[in-house]
Amino acid sequence: MPPALGTRRVVLVSGKGGVGKTTVSVALALSAARRGQRVLLCETQGSTRVPAIFGRPSKGYEPMQVATNLDTLSITPAAAIEEYVLLQLHFHRLYRMVFRNRIMGPFVDAVPGLHDLVQLGKVWFAERETVAGRPRWDLVVVDAPATGHGLTMLGAPRAMMDLTTSGPFYENAKLIADLVEDEARTALLLVSTAEEMPLRETVDLYSRLGNMRRLVGGAVLNEVHPSPVPSPAEWSAARGALLETGGGDVHAAVDLVDDELRAVSRQADARSRLAALGTVAELPFQFHRDLARADYDSFATAIEGLL
């Protein structure tokens, strides 16, 4: 049994595009914050969706409190590089000379994985930030890029170590690798819906993780539909009788129930495939789709078993 997510310092949330990574990141962060952990939720790639969920304008890279025990910020590669260089050089003018000129700019864009590495570098930095001698945040939740890119990001510190083999870049990359490859401190949480494509991508990602598989601390099956009828067995008898009563509306209603029942059976299949990854939490599909704060609060309750 891998350690529960609540004992880790960093949780990276990934899955196919659009499956609910941001939704799950918010739910997990809220759940941990409710339990009294001080949580930082990091969006990546410059995404700034989280503050709006809490009815606030984004402050970008600067941490801002959005709920009790919950801060958020948005990491962009450019802001992370700037912070990193300023920390190294302690000198704004030098930064502008070196990084904003035409020599270094293309270099930063061209080094493979540097954007991913510096974003993880910010996570590493947040993890070790202290206030009055204790960690500023107990848990850093990262709304990470989608599956393929997420995997590249996770491998970015190793890639930099292989590229440089020694020197300050190597040493910094090693510090980050030590954190993100340590299953006692870092977890991966994989999100999927019951649709075949996202599910396959998630299971595929899991198999491609290789020895990093040990980081996986569970999975979330999102957008779970309730069964449209109390007893599918009784439905199969009743639907024949219903269809005999005729009428276009009856046919449409029967089709709808059949569709929903197929969704429910896909979910059963998804549940068992995700179970191979570890503990699975489920979030219900909210038919109104336009999620409100109350939905995130109920998702936070639904997901608390992972902590």
Ligand X SMILES: Nc1ncnc2c1ncn2[C@@H]1O[C@H](COP(=O)(O)OP(=O)(O)OP(=O)(O)O)[C@@H](O)[C@H]1O
Residues at the interface with ligand X (CB under 6 A) = 17-23, 146, 222-223, 283, 285-286, 289, 291
**Nearest-approach distance from CB 150 to ligand X, in angstroms:** 10
Inter-residue long-range contacts of 51-56, CB under 8 Å, 24+ positions, other chains counted = 53/26, 53/291, 53/293, 53/296, 54/293, 55/293
Strand bridging mode 130-131 / 134-135: antiparallel
Question: How far apart are CB 47 and ligand X at their closest, in Å?
Answer: 7
Q: Give the alpha-carbon dihedral of 69, 75, 81, 85, to 10 degrees.
A: -20
Cα dist from 195 to 149, 217, 266, whole Å? 20, 22, 7
Q: Do the strands 64-67 and 70-74 form a parallel or antiparallel pair, or are they unpaired?
A: antiparallel
- What minimum distance in Å lies between the beta carbon of 227 and Mg ion? 29
DSSP of 226-281: PPSSS-HHHHHHHHHHHHHT--HHHHHHHHHHHHHHHHHHHHHHHHHHHHTTS-EE
| Binding region for Mg ion (CB under 5 A) out of 13-21, 109-117, 252-260, 281-289 | 13-21
- Of 45 and 164, the one with the shorter C-beta distance to ligand X is 45
- Residue 47 or 164: the one with the smaller Cβ distance to Mg ion is 47
Radius of gyration of the chain (CA): 22
- The verdict on 222 binding Mg ion (CB under 5 A) reads no
Query: Cβ distance 31 to 67 under 8 Å?
Result: no
From Mg ion, ligand X, none, interface partner of 127 (C-beta below 5 to 8 A by class)? none
Q: Which is nearer to ligand X, 114 or 283 (CB)?
A: 283
* Shortest spacing between CB 273 and Mg ion, in angstroms: 23
Contact of 64 with 71, CB cutoff 8 Å: yes
Give the residue with the Cβ less far from Mg ion, 45 or 164: 45
Q: Which does 17 bind (CB under 5 to 8 A by kind): Mg ion, ligand X, none?
A: ligand X
Rounded to the nearest whole angstrom, what is the least distance from the CB of residue 28 to ligand X in the complex?
12
The reply on whether position 22 binds Mg ion by CB under 5 A is: yes
Q: Which distant-in-sequence residues (6+ apart) come within 8 Å of 239 by Cβ?
A: 254, 257, 258
Q: Among Mg ion, ligand X, none, what binds residue 12 when CB lies within 5 to 8 Å by partner kind?
A: none
Give the nearer residue to ligand X in terms of CB position, either 138 or 218.
218
Q: Residue 119 binds what, of Mg ion, ligand X, none (CB under 5 to 8 Å, by partner type)?
A: none
Structure token digits, residue 281:
């939490």
Q: Binding segment for Mg ion among 15-23, 81-89, 159-167, 259-267 (CB under 5 A)? A: 15-23
Give the whole-angstrom CA distance, residue 147 versus residue 149. Answer: 6
Give the tokens for residue 148: 């393929």
Q: What is the 3-state secondary structure (H, E, C) of 107-132?
A: HHHHCCCHHHHHHHHHHHHHHHCEEC
In the complex, the smallest distance separating the C-beta of residue 122 from ligand X, rounded to whole angstroms, is 18
Least CB distance from residue 136 to ligand X, whole Å? 25
Token pair recorded at residue 288: 């109104």
Nearer to ligand X, 19 or 29 (CB): 19
74 contributes a contact to Mg ion by CB under 5 A: no
Nearer CB in complex with Mg ion: 14/22:
22
Q: Which lies closer to ligand X via its Cβ, residue 23 or residue 69?
A: 23
Q: Work out what residue 78 binds among Mg ion, ligand X, none; the CB cut-off runs from 5 to 8 Å by kind.
A: none
Contacting positions for Mg ion (CB under 5 A): 21-22
